[in-house]
Amino acid sequence: MAPLAKHGGGGYGPSLMADSKVTEAGPAATGADALPLKGLRVALLSGNYNYVRDGANQALNRLVGYLQRQGAQVHVYAPKVRKPAFASMGKLIGLPSVPVPGRAEYRIPMMLGARARADLKAFAPNVVHVSSPDPAAHRAVSWARARGLPVLASVHTRFDTYPRYYNLAWVEPLLTAMLRRFYRRCDALVAPSESMAQVLREERMSYDISLWSRGVDRTIFNPGRRDQEWRRSLGIADDEVVIGFLGRLVMEKGLDVFSDTIDELVRKSAGSAVRHRVMVVGEGPARAWFEARLPGAVFTGFQGGKDLGRAVAAMDVLFNPSVTETFGNVTLEAMACGVPVVAAAATGSQSLVSDGISGRLIAPGALHQFAEALRAYVADADLRAAHGAAGERRSHDFSWDAINQAVADTYMRLIRQKQALQQR
């Protein structure tokens, strides 16, 4: 396939688009059979690309790696730190940034800066991808619109729900309005789940929303990772049913609901012959608070790679009360390990868990119902096994290559649409 030619503001030439064989009906191929994307140049803006490890930035890095393997070029514009959490994919250009007040581990990119603007000019992207609604992303959208370039925004978290965890719920309507203004200046959005896409539609964030789901690495997350000896090394007895929490230890992950539910479960289970134990996998600034609320729980700290797969497989049920997730990576990882999930019936988990089949979906914040669902799993090994097996089967539907090809297809569609408008 010949390299795609530049024309009309850095886009693809007509012959090149015909050669790509991507149609409005969908991708021509996925996974290992995906078509090369030579000539595609993506400018990706991220507020956190690799300085703190989380599901969103790992998904972005996987996307960049996939695009590069298909022949595309990607330049990433994001804050840089001296000691990042992991090595990044693509060429990373630093943006001027400041620490988030009260959460100094995160940074806000405040502008593009002279270096980024010079790199953008030299790189001449034919699509701009913004992944967080920060000041630098606003500037990037303006930069792209001035040059007639398409802009894709990916939605990774429910930013509008964060204030309620810091006694600032009154800010949410204002934040929603600000997000709407940002997203409606973009040509299209991609969301990680249909439930999140529906929320965005209802909030009138955009009229062009497609899915960029998430995948799971089954070499890391599978039932075979369960290791009884490792559980014993943590002081967990073989007859203890492990209720797991997986994620960064910050209040917006629902730590208060989790701990209050465990209190309720302890009361409901008084005198029961079946013992349970809480295991917390993750690290974060709220760890001390969480440890104080969960006396007797096992805190493993941060786990990565195969160690993380082992930790998830060591659980007997995952409890995920968060309502800020747009997909629920931790839910999918537990399902891949054959672990049933009790989750809040919110964006993300609703698109993964089949209530009463692979887990339970409970109204957000409903402590008594959460506790009842957990108690049922603690008491019934057959129920855990059946629902865990159903979740493991469902996890096979999530292939990273096919999922990332969907984003590449969206880039190509937006480029075609922009060219069609310019040629009128």
pLDDT per residue as tens digits for the range 320-336:
999 877 677 899 999 99
Question: Do 387 and 413 fall into the same domain?
Answer: no
Specify the number of domains making up the chain. Answer: 2
In-domain check, residue 257: yes
Tell me how far CA of residue 256 lies from CA of 73, 211, 289, in angstroms.
43, 31, 10
Task: Mean pLDDT check: name the lowest of 12-26, 220-234, 399-413.
Answer: 12-26
In-domain check, residue 258: yes
Q: Which pLDDT band holds residue 23 (cuts at 50, 70, 90)?
A: very low
Q: Which pLDDT band holds residue 222 (cuts at 50, 70, 90)?
A: very high
In-domain check, residue 189: yes
C-alpha–C-alpha distance, residues 259 and 266, integer Å: 11
In 3D space, the residue among 84, 131, 85, 87 whose CA is nearest the CA of residue 109 turns out to be 131
In-domain check, residue 268: yes
Query: Above 60 in pLDDT, residue 9?
Result: no
Question: Do 85 and 139 fall into the same domain?
Answer: yes
Give the side-chain half-sphere CA count within 13 A for 298.
22
In-domain check, residue 1: no
In-domain check, residue 273: yes
Q: Average of pLDDT values for 77-87?
A: 92
Question: Do 40 and 186 fall into the same domain?
Answer: yes
C-alpha–C-alpha distance, residues 131 and 142, integer Å: 15
Question: Do 25 and 57 fall into the same domain?
Answer: yes
In-domain check, residue 330: yes
C-alpha–C-alpha distance, residues 107 and 78, integer Å: 10
Give pTM, 2 decimals: 0.66
Question: Do 249 and 374 fall into the same domain?
Answer: yes
Question: Do 208 and 269 fall into the same domain?
Answer: no
Domain span at 257: 223-395
Question: Do 243 and 331 fall into the same domain?
Answer: yes
Question: Do 171 and 311 fall into the same domain?
Answer: no
In-domain check, residue 278: yes
Question: Do 182 and 247 fall into the same domain?
Answer: no
Question: Do 203 and 162 fall into the same domain?
Answer: yes
